Amino acid sequence: MNETPNYYAIIPANVRYSDLKPNAKLLYGEITALSNKHGFCFASNKYFAELYKVNKNTISSWISDLKNYGFVTVKIERNIDNQITKRCIGILKKMDNPIHEKLKYNNTSINTTSNNISIKDKFINLVMFFDYSKEMKLDFINYWTEKSSDRSNAKMRYQKQATFDVKLRLDRWAKNSAKWDNKKTSTSKLDSQISEWEKAKKYIEKI
């Protein structure tokens, strides 16, 4: 990653006044700057090490501290050889300062970010970050990105919401999906019972 971000870095009060090492707080600000572009930070330890003129183990320690304090979340993908292929760092801790809160994805934060990713793709990236089944996330995406018309400037369903907290809505979607699955299972059992009862009734009528 050779790109130098040109976004503002944000270090909210709960990070600034925590017991973290000063450089870990600075790294947090850098992560917010990188996250402004894609919604997450994909930078490697090597990138940060070269940026701050320290070794990769030091960067790893700072990120671990940020994670332990609950200020960031780290998601790692590995290949079949258990080697790390991608790492996503997300800002998950609620900030005291409402300037920017990546996981409270209101329409302004999604729609006004200036980058090469389309609004829909950005929304998809945000949703796919969370640990739910792929099938459920695709259903969620298809529903919320549906447009009311074929016009190019037509808004997607999620854009019509005053605020859109992706994590909360995914949690709610998952709970409702579980209820629906249970309902379908119960209905299936009931249908089976009714079918058996009807068979028994026909048998009795023949006697």
Of residues 190 and 14, which shows the higher confidence score?
14
81 and 137 part of one domain: no
Query: For residue 124, with 0-12 CB atoms within 10 Å meaning exposed, 13-18 middle and 19 or more buried, which class applies?
Result: middle
91 and 151 part of one domain: no
Rounded CA-CA distance 22/10 in Å is: 14
**pLDDT tens sequence across 33-44:** 888 766 788 889
Question: The whole model's pTM is what?
Answer: 0.46
Please report, for residues 11, 66, 92, 106, 158, the alpha-carbon distance to residue 14 in angstroms, rounded to integers and kept in the order given. Answer: 8, 12, 13, 21, 30
Rounded CA-CA distance 75/28 in Å is: 16
Residue 58 lies in domain: 1-95
CB 111 within 8 A of CB 120: no
143 and 64 part of one domain: no
Q: Taking 90 as the threshold, does the pLDDT of residue 48 lie above it?
A: yes
Among the candidates 65, 95, 125, a domain finishes at 95
At 45, the pLDDT band (50, 70, 90 cuts) reads: very high
112 and 172 part of one domain: yes
pLDDT the model gives residue 105: 43
205 and 126 part of one domain: yes
69: CATH: 1.10.10.10
**pLDDT tens sequence across 143-166:** 998 887 777 778 889 988 888 888
Among the candidates 68, 95, 122, a domain finishes at 95
Please report, for residues 30, 36, 85, the alpha-carbon distance to residue 115 in angstroms, rounded to integers and kept in the order given. Answer: 17, 9, 24
CB 27 within 8 A of CB 52: yes
CB 115 within 8 A of CB 37: yes
Among the candidates 34, 68, 95, a domain finishes at 95
Neighbours of 188 (CB within 10 A): 10
Of residues 8 and 51, which shows the higher confidence score?
51
